[in-house]
Structure 1
Amino acid sequence: MLYVNQVVLFLAFAETIHAQFPVNNLRTTIPDSIAPDINNPFRNLFKTRPFFKLNGGMVCYNANYRALIDTPYAEKDILQHNITGRLNATVAGIVPLQVNYWLRKSNSSFFRNIYDAQVAFNQAAFRENLKTTMRQRMLALAPAVKDASLEKLVALKQNELSGLDKLLKTTFNPQKLIEANEILKVPKLSWDGSLPDSANLHKEDSLKKAAAYFLDQYNNTKNKFDQLYTQFDSLQEKYKENQAKVRQYQQLIKGDWSGLQSARAWKNKLQEYGLEDVEIPAKYRWLLGLRNFSLGRSPVNYSELTAKNVSVNGINLEYNSWYYLALTAGTVNYRFRDFVVGNANRKPQYLGMVRAGIGRLEKNYFILSAFTGKKQLFASGSAVNSNIKVSGLSAESRWAINRTSYFIAEAGKSIAPDFRNNPPVAGSSSKLDFTDKNNQAIAFHLYSAIPVTNTKLDASYKKTGANYQSFSSYTTNTAMESWYIKADQSLFKRKLRIVAALRKNEFVNPFIVQDYKSNTVFKSVTATMRIRKWPVVSVGYQPMSQYTKVDNQVMENRFQTFNATLYHYYVVRQLKMATTLMLNKFLNNNSDTSFRYYNATNSYFTQTFYFNAFTANAGISYTKNSNYTLQVLDGGIQPNIPGFGSVGIGIKINNLNHIDIKAGGYVSANIRLLKQDQLFLSYEHGYLPGNKSGLVRNEMGTVQFIKTFNFK
């Protein structure tokens, strides 16, 4: 009787199934998904009109007055005017240019007047503009990467699949499938003994048809589920790929773009985020390789054996992609030491150089250099202050040992007159002789950073023959050998930093008398401790260099100094304060220098209080050597004026040898003008120790105005 009831219920259920699932509705179709298309993100990236556009710039005027100059170069009533400025422009919407100018005029016999200008390609601005504009462009194209129709189709199929799965678990549950199979396979399962055979046969036949129909609908539903699941699985894979591409795209937009300094780096970055088919236009690839291009006054700093720390007025071009090319040509001005050479002693100088090689400067490279020009001699004898013609060749190579270490080697050969025996006529030159060791040079440089131990090592070695001449060295008639090694170590999670260095015979100044036979090794070591909420303490033992001018003779003296400083910024009962302590010791004597402060010990203490309305400071300094003792008391106050800036006023009391006591003062103002311009004024009525005795009055004043402007 149980089976009879089940069969009756099953027949009713089978009819419901037949009504819900017609056989011709089981087949469905799935449209193809559309691949994302972001076109070409570089197309029309920059607006090319107008062809030339001024973007802004700045100009700064600075005037300095000194009644006395507190150095061995004694001068009085020196007034110096400086005008520096910059203009930013864009050509064709792509090429950023920077126009720099510098004018200096003074009544000093050491500082000559300067009128300099430079037009330069701004590589940093180009890279930044390219990165910023590409970010904006790719952000605007982000919706094209995300396939919205694919997302909707996946959701639709997921809902349909979920409905079929629910139907298979409820309507076509395992118990009903078992019952339908038993009806078909077990004879006389539904027979009722109270009925005649003919009635049971008719009933059994009806039940088997219903069971067969039920199982057929189950199979159709299961096939539809399997087919839909396969389709859904394929769609889901495509959807996951699209989602991954969207995430990559977002990472590309939000990620770190600081390393995109070359066309290869851009290509690798785009490939990393699945944009392999995006081509970088040729004009962008070329501009990314242009490291430097300038007309006018430019610093030249290429290699140890060719040209280094030289100021050239002319053209300077440097390009580096997979190959390297550099060109420099112009007149030379050794601007870096111009304060010790008078205009009467200055001779015309020029430099021309070509460099070519393969590789990238940040990685591995091999570069050949050829240079020629005229340079001024600073030697003894009849050739002093004359010009000589200099030519030379060098080969330089860099090997990247690992990601943080590299080694550079360079060898050079020069052609120049030999003034060691029977000086030739100035301007003549010798022939290139590869067997002559007197006109050859070698240089090595090793740098290594060890991230695991927070260690940095830097070492160099250079040896030049007695007649090697280049625009990196200014010595004449002397063989030189110098080396340098430096170690930088951080300890205790970068709280303590120790820097130590050894240096021997590294002379770089062309205008001084030097002892070329000196074997002095200069030592330096510095330790700095930084702990949060604790004072910053720095202790150092370092070499110093001082220049002295006697008549037309300029000499350099070197000696050691000891320095120790402590700085602490802290808050006491909501009052912000800062304390500074400093100790300085010159380890020299009167025979080393004509400077007043020889072999002096100087200590300094200042306390600063930061109130809401003003800042106040009080300090004391104490200087002592074998000839004098100087004490200076300093106190000042600087009110803050909202919307205006700040002003400051202070007093200094000077006490020399506990006998001569004089008071001076100072005043300063920092004024904001038109929201972005600034005017700075300062004046000090002070005193300096005289060379003979007593305190000497000294007046100092500064006026500075900075104007910033933007063009829209």
Structure 2
Amino acid sequence: MEIPFPCYRYLLPCINLIVAFLLCGFAANAQLPVDTSAKGVRKFKQEIHTSIKTDSTFFRKDPLRISIPHLSKDTISPIAINIKTNFQAGVNAQKKRVLAGINEQRKSLLTSLKLPKTDSITIDVNNHFKKLFDTRPILKINSGMVCYNANYRSFIDTPYLENGILQNNLTGRLNLTVAGVFPLQLNFWLRQSNSHFFKNIYDVQIAFNGAAFQEKLRTGIRERLLALAPAIKDPRLEKLYMDKLSALIDQENVLKTIFNPQKLVEANEIIKVPKLTWDGNLPDSVNVRREDSSKKAARFFLSGYDSTKKVFEQVRNQVDSLKNKYEDVRQRVRQYQQLVNGNWNDLQSERDWKNKLQEYGLSDIKLPAKYRWLLGLRSFSLGRSPVNYSELTAKNVSINGISVEYNSWYYLALTAGMVNYRFRDFVVNNVNRKPQYLGMVRAGLGRLEKNYFILSAYRGRKQLFASSATVNSTITITGLSAASRWAINRTSYLTAEVGKSVTPDFRNNPPNAGGSNVLKLSDKDNQAIAFHLYSVIPITNTKIEAAYKKTGANYQSFSSYSTNAAMESWYIKADQSLLKRKLRIAASLRKNEFVNPFIVQDYKGSTLFKSLTGTLRIRKWPLIIIGYQPMSQYTKVDDLVMENRFQTFNATLFHNYTVHQLRMATTIMVNKFYNHNTDTGFVYYNATNSYFTQHFYFNAFTANAGISVTKNSRYTLQVLDGGIQPNIPRFGTIGIGIRINNWNNSEIKAGGYMSANIRLWKQDMVFLNYEHGYLPGNKNQLVRNEMGTVQFIKTFNFK
């Protein structure tokens, strides 16, 4: 047989010589000719033969076994033949093992030299995450959604009197991947309307999808760790450990059976006690020969025990050494399995990943620097972006520009763009709008979810007054702030912020630019402070939140629009769960908390808003919600928009149940407004509204019937409602209904409505809704109102 590696030509003879010497040594110790004529010796040897023959596994598994045959002059030749046969068999077995090892190493070498398949993962042992992502193609569209919505109102039920309003909305989202690594999200919103109050919108935003990147990174690393698992598990070490463990068990069985303690004691007594084997009926010469033969056999037995014991100790030491290595490998494999199968949702920063890998003993595995940096990128967007930083800088602001926020062990944020309060655009007069912009830089240390200290600097222009007649309605402001967060414990934290702004002082005429007040810390008029406390008490299931804010008369930022007056606001909230979370009570107190752009707040500084809500949720019982809450209403007067606030009472009962295998649902609602006709533009001021509806869920259709009653000092409106909605398999649903309106028991008019949900293909839907109804008007009569909605949603995925 040709050996594939020349270096083994010198190794095999050396191994054969070593094996030969070992076999000869054991054979020499094992084969000693003795005389067996004595009766005691014959009995002793028969016991040894019986023990050897009963333990067949010893001879089958141990090539270096120790045997004690029946010794006589005639047995010397067979013993020699047996030694030669065992020697040759041992040499052949060792040769086969060496050749098998050579072939295994050759196969392993050839396998490592083979080129990997195109769909396989190749791993660099020195860099586990090298080429973690496939960077091709440069740009890939993964999925997306497009939605078209058309709304028509013949009469708007608000203080803004408009007729025949049609609004078209087109929204969409595309999920992109750049270079196989960077997930981006492209959002667009187009809105066109014939209303004088609603502005047309053409918005586009492209943003870095941090959540998608986190998931992509988690998936990529998990796949890489799974690919690394076979490399961590050493099959050769496992096989060697199992072989040695099996050999140790065999040696231990030999020591417990052939060389049991009783036989060792008897052998030692034969050697050490004189004339122990003598028989008084035999001559002394015979007893001497018998004693010599017995002692030789006993010495041979003890020598075999010593040899076996020595081999046992050697094998046990080898097993102990291999066991430590084997357990280390198993522990590492278990750590990989726990890491791969564990919860990775909390791994959102470089430090989180590092701590997680160290937790499982994988500190030698390092994430690539570029991925570590991207883990800290919280947001990056171009186009329309919301800005919500802090109480004293910018909060609930929408800008059209660029916004970047990064947070690892340090924090950095940049925002620049044109300001647009589009989330309140229904109260903005388009004619009187002035250009506004905001630029802000924030930098600090720490993580937003834990402890941090952040400095902010902002500059921009904002519009203070909505009226076009106001002089200098836009001003340029500059401000600084310092904010800090302190984690009190795992469920509680406290934030504090101080700020100072430089703005024109409108208390003077003409306004004073105030540039000399930049460094005058003693001037309290352009300073502000804010505190926020949040705490959860797990033992009592209690949540507490409190905030306090105080600003000087001349402090300006992009989170408030008050002018020429100092403002002090605070609120406190509490949420308590009782009865094993079946009952939830939420209460709050607020003072001057609401601040909205371009709105005249119609309340005094001492106004206190109260809120109390209770929710009872018991299995198989009705859901009950009772609340006493503040409400806000907008009223437009000439060029100004006024906001009025008042308290409301709400109570709701909902129950889903079954009666004689028929599923039904009952809803009861009661609503009460606590206001007057002097502080509202709605007809139903200080009104009480009661509502009851019943649903019946049959197999073929769903039916509903309901009644509502709205009443105040000026009118009473009763509405009866009934409808049916057949279920059409594989198509969707179609519903029709009728409403009968009774106004002050003097005017009765009937209207109707219809709706349809139509399924197109597998995932796309079309929603249709139309209502011919009536609303209460200002002239103490019902006003006809037509409402219609068409919506189409298309989703797509590219594999």
The alpha-carbon distance between structure 1 residues 630 and 41, as it changes in their structure 2 partners (threshold 3 A), is: farther
Tell me the residue number matched to 1:582.
Answer: 669
Match for residue 290 of structure 1 among 377, 394, 403? 377
Instruction: Decide which structure has greater strand share.
Output: 1
From the CA coordinates, give the structure whose radius of gyration is larger: 2
Match for residue 345 of structure 1 among 432, 453, 457? 432
What TM-score results when the alignment is normalised by the length of structure 2? 0.85
Displacement of 1:421: 2.1
User: In structure 2, what is the Cα distance between the partners aligned to 1:9 and 1:247?
Assistant: 52
User: In structure 1, what is the Cα distance between the partners aligned to 2:247 and 2:217?
Assistant: 47
Match for residue 7 of structure 1 among 44, 57, 66? 44
The reply to whether residue 638 of structure 1 matches residue 686 of structure 2 is no
* Uncovered stretches (5+) of structure 1, i.e. residues with no partner: none
CA contact (8 A) 1:544 1:561 kept: yes
1:210-225 map, 5 Å: 210-225=297-312
What TM-score results when the alignment is normalised by the length of structure 1? 0.95
Displacement of 1:595: 0.7
Counterpart AA for 2:530: A
Displacement of 1:590: 1.2
Tell me the residue number matched to 2:489.
Answer: 402
CA contact (8 A) 1:636 1:651 kept: yes
The reply to whether residue 695 of structure 1 matches residue 782 of structure 2 is yes
Displacement of 1:6: 3.7
Question: Residue 135 of structure 1 aligns to a residue in which SS?
Answer: helix
Match for residue 117 of structure 1 among 188, 204, 207? 204
1:176-191 map, 5 Å: 176-191=263-278
CA contact (8 A) 1:82 1:102 kept: yes
User: In structure 2, what is the Cα distance between the partners aligned to 1:515 and 1:692?
Assistant: 26
Displacement of 1:197: 1.7
Counterpart AA for 1:59: V
User: Equivalent pairs: percent with the same residue?
Assistant: 71
Moved more, 107-116 or 145-154: 145-154
Match for residue 622 of structure 1 among 709, 712, 728? 709
User: In structure 1, what is the Cα distance between the partners aligned to 2:176 and 2:747?
Assistant: 58
Question: Residue 73 of structure 1 aligns to a residue in which SS?
Answer: coil
Tell me the residue number matched to 2:67.
Answer: 19
Displacement of 1:247: 2.0
User: In structure 2, what is the Cα distance between the partners aligned to 1:650 and 1:15?
Assistant: 97
CA contact (8 A) 1:121 1:294 kept: yes
The alpha-carbon distance between structure 1 residues 484 and 7, as it changes in their structure 2 partners (threshold 3 A), is: same
Query: RMSD across aligned C-alpha pairs, in angstroms?
Result: 2.5
Displacement of 1:361: 0.6
Displacement of 1:552: 2.1
1:456-535 map, 5 Å: 456-515=543-602, 517-535=604-622
User: In structure 1, what is the Cα distance between the partners aligned to 2:698 and 2:125?
Assistant: 57
1:253-272 map, 5 Å: 253-272=340-359
User: In structure 2, what is the Cα distance between the partners aligned to 1:210 and 1:148?
Assistant: 45
Displacement of 1:384: 5.2
Counterpart AA for 1:198: S
Question: Residue 563 of structure 2 aligns to a residue in which SS?
Answer: coil
1:309-458 map, 5 Å: 309-378=396-465, 383=470, 386-424=473-511, 431-432=517-518, 433-458=520-545
CA contact (8 A) 1:345 1:385 kept: no
Tell me the residue number matched to 1:106.
Answer: 193
Question: Residue 526 of structure 1 aligns to a residue in which SS?
Answer: strand
User: In structure 1, what is the Cα distance between the partners aligned to 2:426 and 2:331?
Assistant: 63
CA contact (8 A) 2:145 2:172 kept: yes
Displacement of 1:710: 2.2
Counterpart AA for 1:646: T
CA contact (8 A) 1:377 1:384 kept: no
Tell me the residue number matched to 2:62.
Answer: none
CA contact (8 A) 1:67 1:77 kept: yes
The alpha-carbon distance between structure 1 residues 15 and 55, as it changes in their structure 2 partners (threshold 3 A), is: closer
Displacement of 1:170: 1.5
Displacement of 1:20: 7.7
The reply to whether residue 161 of structure 1 matches residue 198 of structure 2 is no
Deviation string, structure 1 residues 299-355 (Cα, Å, up to 9, x no partner)? 111111011111111111111111111111111111122111221100011111111
Displacement of 1:135: 2.0
Tell me the residue number matched to 1:152.
Answer: 239
Question: Residue 753 of structure 2 aligns to a residue in which SS?
Answer: strand
User: In structure 2, what is the Cα distance between the partners aligned to 1:538 and 1:76?
Assistant: 37
The alpha-carbon distance between structure 1 residues 18 and 232, as it changes in their structure 2 partners (threshold 3 A), is: closer
Moved more, 148-157 or 265-274: 148-157
Question: Residue 239 of structure 2 aligns to a residue in which SS?
Answer: helix
User: In structure 1, what is the Cα distance between the partners aligned to 2:135 and 2:227?
Assistant: 20
Match for residue 652 of structure 2 among 557, 565, 584? 565
Match for residue 55 of structure 1 among 126, 129, 142? 142
Tell me the residue number matched to 1:42.
Answer: 129
Question: Residue 158 of structure 2 aligns to a residue in which SS?
Answer: coil
User: In structure 1, what is the Cα distance between the partners aligned to 2:530 and 2:230?
Assistant: 56
CA contact (8 A) 1:88 1:96 kept: yes
Displacement of 1:512: 2.0
CA contact (8 A) 2:452 2:486 kept: yes
Question: Residue 528 of structure 1 aligns to a residue in which SS?
Answer: strand
Moved more, 318-327 or 429-438: 429-438
CA contact (8 A) 2:502 2:514 kept: no
Query: Which stretches of structure 1, 4 residues or more, deviate above 6 A after TM superposition?
Result: 13-17, 20-25, 28-31, 379-382
* Uncovered stretches (5+) of structure 2, i.e. residues with no partner: 1-37, 54-64, 70-82, 102-107, 109-122
Counterpart AA for 1:9: Q
User: In structure 1, what is the Cα distance between the partners aligned to 2:407 and 2:131?
Assistant: 25
The alpha-carbon distance between structure 1 residues 608 and 38, as it changes in their structure 2 partners (threshold 3 A), is: farther
Displacement of 1:600: 0.9
Deviation string, structure 1 residues 86-144 (Cα, Å, up to 9, x no partner)? 11111111001111111111111111111111111111111011112222232233322
Counterpart AA for 2:456: S
Tell me the residue number matched to 1:70.
Answer: 157
The alpha-carbon distance between structure 1 residues 203 and 676, as it changes in their structure 2 partners (threshold 3 A), is: same
CA contact (8 A) 1:11 1:210 kept: no
User: In structure 1, what is the Cα distance between the partners aligned to 2:705 and 2:129?
Assistant: 59
Counterpart AA for 1:95: F
1:592-603 map, 5 Å: 592-603=679-690
Counterpart AA for 1:417: P
Counterpart AA for 2:278: W
Displacement of 1:15: 9.1
Displacement of 1:368: 0.6
Counterpart AA for 1:7: F
Counterpart AA for 1:64: N
The alpha-carbon distance between structure 1 residues 20 and 190, as it changes in their structure 2 partners (threshold 3 A), is: closer
Tell me the residue number matched to 1:142.
Answer: 229
CA contact (8 A) 1:415 1:431 kept: yes
Deviation string, structure 1 residues 399-447 (Cα, Å, up to 9, x no partner)? 111111111000000000001121328x886641322110000000011
The alpha-carbon distance between structure 1 residues 577 and 243, as it changes in their structure 2 partners (threshold 3 A), is: farther
Question: Residue 570 of structure 2 aligns to a residue in which SS?
Answer: strand
User: In structure 2, what is the Cα distance between the partners aligned to 1:253 and 1:84?
Assistant: 38
Displacement of 1:83: 0.8
Match for residue 335 of structure 2 among 237, 241, 248? 248
Tell me the residue number matched to 1:239.
Answer: 326
Displacement of 1:380: 8.3
CA contact (8 A) 1:563 1:582 kept: yes
Question: Residue 344 of structure 1 aligns to a residue in which SS?
Answer: coil
User: In structure 1, what is the Cα distance between the partners aligned to 2:516 and 2:684?
Assistant: 48
The alpha-carbon distance between structure 1 residues 207 and 470, as it changes in their structure 2 partners (threshold 3 A), is: same
User: In structure 2, what is the Cα distance between the partners aligned to 1:162 and 1:294?
Assistant: 68
Tell me the residue number matched to 1:656.
Answer: 743
Question: Residue 582 of structure 1 aligns to a residue in which SS?
Answer: strand
Displacement of 1:40: 4.0
User: In structure 2, what is the Cα distance between the partners aligned to 1:380 and 1:579?
Assistant: 49
Question: Residue 112 of structure 1 aligns to a residue in which SS?
Answer: coil
Counterpart AA for 1:220: S
CA contact (8 A) 1:350 1:375 kept: yes
